[in-house]
Amino acid sequence: MVTRCNNVGVHIYVDAVINHMCGANAGAGDHATCGSYFNAKTKDFPAVPYSGWDFNDGKCKSRSGDIENYHDIYQVRDCRLVSLLDLALEKDYVRSKVAEYMNYLIDIGVAGFRIDAAKHMWPGDVKAILDKLKDLNTKWFSAGTKPFIYQEVIDLGREPIKGSDYFGNGRVTEFKYGAKLGTVIRKWNGEKMAYLKNWGEGWGFVPSDRALVFVDNHDNQRGHGAGGASILTFWDPRPYKMAVGFMLAHPYGFTRVMSSFRWPRYFVDGRDVNDWMGPPSYSDGSTKPVTINEDTTCGNDWVCEHRWRQIKNMVIFRNVVDGQPFSNWWDNGSNQVAFGRGNKGFIVFNNDDWSLNVALQTGLPAGTYCDIISGQKKGDYCTAVEVHVAADGVANFLISNENEDPFIAIHVDAKL
């Protein structure tokens, strides 16, 4: 799979679960993912091998052995996260086994790692493991390329462990990003898109060069992890596409797009009791294939947000405007906003309950551009809205609040 993806320029980042092994009550047997024998009770994992010596039970100071108090950094990092057996990552033997696993993946050709549950490990232990990693495989990457590292650190500002503790190791997940953007797009708590003018560090987020940002992820799209009710997901496609469009147009952070599957949501007292469900599957438990529809979206209950025209085209927009400054901000004091990226791209949003009709300085060269949200450039014509930029860089934008997608985006590669 990694070879096939690398050959077409798609890089793979592995979700590295290195803080812990299985749950303390997982029993014994060969029902591990790869079929190797383990015994959770005796902490025996002969396939690695790990034994009782390789876990943090002796260091944990909570009564239950689990994390009971998130304001105690020693508990958060030395005790069991939801009863998962906590590896003793200060031991060089354990670090070496983890690095061996990650280096095997580098040999296969992966481009980097998401470090799961990083806040539950000491930053120095994570660094010691990363220091043992090889450079990326030169079959696909230039010599001396380091793996791209981003660490899952849920820091909503209410606990002693901070995302900044981990900046020395790589980027960190900025969970405040999706929570705040969802609140703004939903217009909750008096928030308006006009307030996004200083989006990024001005909103109390980590520095842009340390931030891994996303509108939703696999956890918080189903109420797990962090973010709460404001998180936008594919279940609310109209505001979701606006939020993802804003994220991909804005220069802050390193962006990640979600790709999901549907599950049968069932709410009881405001909570989805099916939030644990896995991917679309047959009655024997095997996963259904991803089928591709005629319009290139996915079927079989695979959502594939990355294939939605609006999101796919905004990924292209981001690549076209890469390195260009945030420019030409405009807002109406409410929920109509626009901004450019230097002389390469421009985007306009109407999240008000009335039409937008305004002439704006785009910063773009004169010409006719195809809106990449309502359609796209196809040969020498547009499949939907055309935007005419005058010699002085000004263009008129008309966006009804009734539009399927109440935003317009143009860039220099979508110019006729």
CA distance 285 to 7: 31
Catalytic entry in 116, 236, 331, 413: 116
Cα dihedral 49, 51, 54, 57 sign: positive
Whether 159 is a known active-site residue: answer no
Q: Confirm whether 353 is a catalytic residue.
A: no
The catalytically annotated residue of 152, 216, 305, 405 is 152
Output the 3-class SS for the chain.
CHHHHHHCCCCCEEEECCCEEEECCCCEECCCCCCCCEECCCCEECCCCECHHHECCCCCCCCCCECCCCCCHHHHHHCEHHHEEEECCCCHHHHHHHHHHHHHHHHHCCCEEEECCHHHCCHHHHHHHHCCCCCCCCCCCCCCCCCEEEECCCCCCCCCCCHHHHHHHCEEECHHHHHHHHHHHCCHHHCCHHHHHHCCHHHCCCCHHHEEECCCCCCHHHCCCCCHHHCCCCCCHHHHHHHHHHHHHCCCCEECCCCCECCCCCEECCEECCCCCCCCECCCCCECCCCECCCCCECCCECCHHHCHHHHHHHHHHHHCCCCCEEEEEECCCCEEEEEECCCEEEEEECCCCCEEEEEECCCCCEEEECCCCCCEECCEECCCEEEECCCCEEEEEECCCCCCCEEEEEHHHEC
Which tokens sit at 365? 């060269």
Per-residue CA distances from 198 to 130, 201, 250, 253 (Å): 34, 8, 11, 14
In this structure, are residues 153 and 206 in contact, taking their beta carbons and an 8 Å threshold? no
* Residue 58 burial (C-beta neighbours within 10 Å; 0-12, 13-18, 19+): exposed
Could you tell me which of 173, 414, 385, 209 has the C-alpha nearest to residue 312?
414
* Backbone torsion region of residue 227, taken as left when φ is above 0, otherwise alpha when ψ lies between -120 and 50, otherwise beta: left
* Residues that are catalytic: 116, 152
